[in-house]
């Protein structure tokens, strides 16, 4: 693959991983054309007025979710216009990790077949396959004989991997990539409905505020005009420039304060600004993640790239979380249901290891509560299989102003005794950084030449 000069970073590991996936197919040229089409689909979707300021998800970019996933690492290499700061943090780390050990994958029985199956299932999210391939290459780099377990048609599902070392019994590994369950998806959808009412008021009045809300009731029980009403009360209260308006009631507690519009104006005085997490951080004065904020603003888009704004007139951000016990329990129950699936797949295969990877939030009371609920769910689980270890990987894809992509990984281990195997992180070569988690890691981020985005 020939890399153009208009990308962000020409990373050798990402390049090696993409070239390996191309070699898996029967038609490498068609593979690259597929990714080019996915890049074009992203450019088209991100140019639509309805999508301005919205963090796009892969399923919003067309039918080919696999192509859209792989197009982001390719865009890191050759096309900054189709590289998305949020999607890049969700996709590039997996290609980077696979690329580190890609030379070992051809010696892992079943690895090429697993990659080929992923590439052919274009509408199925590739996260599970990426997880399995990354862990297979990690275990291989630690000196284990690794092979994918072939699934027999018409029989019960099998584990993903089989590990062996001389003199030791084989160990089977199951990897589960957990995305949002139905409850969490509906919760986010409901919050967008609550935000829409408040956004209409923000646009009508040209407001620059930060609303920080912690729901103590399930969002399904919160009235649709709840946020709009709290904002209306705040702007009707005789306080100076909306400096601070706290509230607490049966549905939630929170505060309305002035948004830091001046910080945004300073940032855009000689450059453009991505309409996304950095804008939310400047307005609120604190880091945010893609699942915990909503933006509304009036601004002039950069004519060179509609994802960026040149001048802002007003802007508001809502940061939110839900700590309702019912919400926490529903999310923890989702983890336990996945663990039951793992148990079913390992019960007939002797000693087993489970790796569960799930997305988490940054700086969130809800995240701490969810982690506690997950721990309770797992420690109270009675497996039928001989599970020697369970690893719960919390992942936070992050948008950094100093890096093109970054991901935090925190690992909780459950089991008896000390770690039976040396590999327990998805990103073992990552570098620890000081972050808001109790244990975290940073996976070799790149300096982003477009951090302040002069396109």
The answer to whether 71 touches 82, Cβ cutoff 8 Å, is yes
Extract the tokens encoding 44.
């088209």
Amino acid 277: pLDDT: 82
3 state SS for 309-357:
EEEEEEEEEEEEEECCHHHHHHHHHHHHHHHHHHHHHHCCCCEEEEEEE
| Cα 110–Cα 112–Cα 116 angle in degrees, nearest 5 | 115
pLDDT tier for residue 451 given thresholds of 50, 70 and 90: very low
> What CATH fold (topology level) applies to the domain 130-178+328-414?
Trna Endonuclease; Chain: A, domain 1 (3.40.1350)
pLDDT digits 0-9 by tens, 56-101: 888 888 899 999 999 999 999 999 999 998 899 999 999 999 999 9
d(CA 426, CA 132): 10
- CATH 3.40.1350 in the chain: give the residue spans: 130-178+328-414
* Residues whose CB is less than 8 angstroms from the CB of residue 192 and which lie 6 or more positions away in sequence, other chains included: 294
d(CA 337, CA 127): 19
* Residues whose CB is less than 8 angstroms from the CB of residue 360 and which lie 6 or more positions away in sequence, other chains included: 367, 370, 371, 394, 395, 396, 410
Amino acid 447: pLDDT: 24
Q: Which of 237, 245, 181 is nearest to 213 (CA)?
A: 245
The answer to whether 41 touches 65, Cβ cutoff 8 Å, is no
Please state the rounded mean pLDDT for residues 280-296.
85
CA distances from 222 to 187, 352, 369 (A): 11, 43, 21
**pLDDT higher than threshold 50 for residue 441:** no
Complete DSSP assignment for 96-156: HHHHHTHHHHTTSTTHHHHHHHHHH-TTS-THHHHHHHHHHHHHHHTT-EEEEPPPPTTS-
Please state the rounded mean pLDDT for residues 222-250.
86
| Cα 368–Cα 283–Cα 58 angle in degrees, nearest 5 | 65
**pLDDT higher than threshold 90 for residue 330:** no
- Residue 263 belongs to what H/E stretch? helix 261-267
d(CA 118, CA 133): 11
Amino acid 150: pLDDT: 87
- Radius of gyration, CA atoms only, the chain: 23
Amino acid 436: pLDDT: 43
Grouping H, G, I as helix, E, B as strand and the rest as coil, residue 234 is helix
pLDDT tier for residue 136 given thresholds of 50, 70 and 90: very high
Complete DSSP assignment for 272-323: -EETTHHHHHHHHTS---TTSEEEEEEEEEETTEEEEEEEEEEEEEEEEEE-
Residue 126 has, within 13 A of its CA and on its CB side, a CA count of: 27
pLDDT tier for residue 401 given thresholds of 50, 70 and 90: low
């Amino acid at each position: 693959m020939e890399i153009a000069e208009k990308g962000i970073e020409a990373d050798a590991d990402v390049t090696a991983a993409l070239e390996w996936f191309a070699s898996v197919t029967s038609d490498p040229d068609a593979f690259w054309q597929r990714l080019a089409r996915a890049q074009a689909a992203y450019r088209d979707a991100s140019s639509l007025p309805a999508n301005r300021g919205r963090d796009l998800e892969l399923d919003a970019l067309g039918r080919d979710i696999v192509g859209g996933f792989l197009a982001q690492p390719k865009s890191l290499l050759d096309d900054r216009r189709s590289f998305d700061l949020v999607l890049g943090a969700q996709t590039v780390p997996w290609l980077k990790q696979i690329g580190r050990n890609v030379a070992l994958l051809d010696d892992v029985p079943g690895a090429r077949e697993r990659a080929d199956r992923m590439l052919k299932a274009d509408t199925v999210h590739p996260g599970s396959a990426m997880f399995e391939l990354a862990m297979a290459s990690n275990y291989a780099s630690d000196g284990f004989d690794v092979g994918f377990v072939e699934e027999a048609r018409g029989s019960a599902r099998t584990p993903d991997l089989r590990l062996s070392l001389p003199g030791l019994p084989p160990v089977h590994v199951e990897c589960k990539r957990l995305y949002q369950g139905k409850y969490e998806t509906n919760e986010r959808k409901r919050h967008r409905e609550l935000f829409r009412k408040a956004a209409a008021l923000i646009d009508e009045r040209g407001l620059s505020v930060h609303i920080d809300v912690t729901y103590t009731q399930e969002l399904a029980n919160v009235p649709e005009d709840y946020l709009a009403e709290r904002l209306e009360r705040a702007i009707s209260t005789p306080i100076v420039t909306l400096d601070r308006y706290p509230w607490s009631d049966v549905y939630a507690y929170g505060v309305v304060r002035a948004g830091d519009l001046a910080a945004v104006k300073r940032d855009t005085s000689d450059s453009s600004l991505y309409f996304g997490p950095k804008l939310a951080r400047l307005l609120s004065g604190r880091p945010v993640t893609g699942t915990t904020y909503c933006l509304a603003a009036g601004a002039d888009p950069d004519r060179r790239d509609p994802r960026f704004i040149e001048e802002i007139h007003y802007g508001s951000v809502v940061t939110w979380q839900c700590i309702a016990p019912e919400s926490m329990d529903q999310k923890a129950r989702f983890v336990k249901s996945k663990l039951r699936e793992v148990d079913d797949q390992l019960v007939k295969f002797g000693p087993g290891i489970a790796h569960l990877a799930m997305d988490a939030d940054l700086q969130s009371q809800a995240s701490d509560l969810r982690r506690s609920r997950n721990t309770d769910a797992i420690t109270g689980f009675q497996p039928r299989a001989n599970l020697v270890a369970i690893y719960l990987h919390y992942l936070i894809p992050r948008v950094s102003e100093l890096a093109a992509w970054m991901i935090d990984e925190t690992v909780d281990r459950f089991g008896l005794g000390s770690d039976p195997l040396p590999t327990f992180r998805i990103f073992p070569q990552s570098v620890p950084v000081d972050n808001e988690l109790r244990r975290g890691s940073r996976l070799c981020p790149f300096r982003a030449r477009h951090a302040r985005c002069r396109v």
